[in-house]
A and B are shown apart, each in its own frame.
Chain A
Amino acid sequence: MTKNKKISSHRISSEDFDQLKDISGVNVYACYQCGNCSSACPAVEFMDIPPHQVIRMVQLGFIDELVKSETPWICAACITCTVKCPRGVDIARVMEGLRQLVLRSDFEHGNLCEIDEKLRKKLPQIALIANFRKTIL
């Protein structure tokens, strides 16, 4: 698993809370921590912070920790969390916002050279393009 080690806390500070809100347009304060998102997420077992905790951490301004987390990069934007949320919080948009915070600080999460060559030759274009859209600005 590619660890996002190069990012340091001084590059993305908690002031980025406002930027995250601008990018995602989500009111995270509507969340009352029921955990529906985390129970519905098909990839939660691969995440280091489950989705409902991500939202709680955004509420509390722990953006530094979140941009270093693997969770936004495990999320495949399947939108299950958003559909299940009883409070209408678009969790998938928050994940996109977190990815964008990292990518917009001149940082790429994906590395083309790391893709297994055998796999790359077989992959349909949509897999590659979708991946680039989410991991490279």
Chain B
Amino acid sequence: MQLSYYPGCTLKTNAKNFEKSALAVLKHLGVSVDELADWYCCGVCFSQTQDNLMQQIAPVRTLVKAKESGNQQLLALCAMCYNTLKRSIEFIKDDAEKLQTIHQFMDLETTQFYGNEVDVVDILTLIKQIGLEKLKKSIVKTEFGLKIASYYGCMLLRPKELAIDSADDPVIMEEILASAGCENVYFPFRTECCGSYQIVNEPDIVKDRAKKIVGSAIKNGADLMVMLCPLCYFNLDEVQKDIQKEDKSFQTIPVLYITQVLALLMGLKPDIHDFSLHSIDPRPVLKMKGLL
């Protein structure tokens, strides 16, 4: 299986541990990904305006590069990138007028893009495509009793048109983790918004959200939380320290990318994890469970 890969900005900086672990897991599963030779910021938040095509140019330019790469599938690891690229395709495909306007604004791109040539895929769907049986066979560490709370956030589930699973009751992360031998913890806040970019101007909203989401995961007995979005990750990992400063009774829980857990279970080198990037150190829990 060969596919193109779009990292996006944050996977090269704050979320290096996500990129490294995800690519290592895929390599271990026999999938090779080619990073696009040239890519641009996707714009992070999909513009929901009907009348402003300028905001679609950034994702479309990346999609043109993906088409030029020759691979039909484009892997977007970051949930925000996945959402923006996918919604951009939905917005412009089969609309000749919009496509023509967008092409008029792109000087460097000579390849014509129609919207249906590139299929944006997230890593969970990709792992299911590869096969849960294959995943099961690749796991070397068993009998460790790790209880994991999977947090989906918004961007992989909403709007419904691009949801990777049920928008109300998704199970794809739990299915993957169960195949890898983990015990799943279901908690009510797993599909709720973490406050997203409000961390910049209204951090109190994010603190409120993080307190509820993390608190609910802990109450349901989770050892750690896993997710796929670098913004959710920041809001739920970094903000826990701030909450604890204000509320001494607040318990913390380590937050990891799901691919870090899979990499550990596959016995891949721990140095790909960059544990120094975590605000809540996951190493004590991982050592206690025999994963490190």
Q: Residues on A close to B: CB < 8 A?
A: 1-2, 22-25, 42-43, 45-46, 73-74, 76-80, 82-83, 90, 92-93, 96-97, 100, 110, 114-116, 119, 122-131, 133-135
Contacts and interface: CB of A to CB of B under 8 A. Distances in A.
Q: Which 6 A-B pairs have the closest CB atoms?
A: A78-B193, A130-B197, A79-B158, A25-B50, A96-B48, A124-B14
Contact of A78 (B55, B78, B158, B200): B158
5 contacts: A76-B198, A123-B234, A124-B14, A125-B13, A130-B80
A78 B46 CA distance: 11
Interface in B39-58: 41, 43-45, 47-52, 55
B195 A43 contact: yes
Nearest to A45: B208
Nearest to B80: A126
A59 B260 CA distance: 48
Dominant SS among interface residues on chain A? helix
B197 A82 contact: no
Given A76-B196, A92-B48, A110-B201, A82 B159 contact: yes
Nearest to B230: A124
Contacts of B238: 122
Contact of B201 (A79, A90, A114, A124): A114
B199 interface: yes
Contacts of B203: 116, 119
A115 B197 CA distance: 12
B249 to A, nearest CB: 22
A80 B13 contact: no
B246 interface: no
Contact of B202 (A46, A78, A97): A46
A134 B198 CA distance: 10
B195 A24 contact: no
B188 to A, nearest CB: 12
Contact of A97 (B10, B49, B167, B208): B49
B280 interface: no
B154 interface: yes
B198 to A, nearest CB: 5
Contacts of A25: 50
A123 B200 CA distance: 8
A125 B196 contact: no
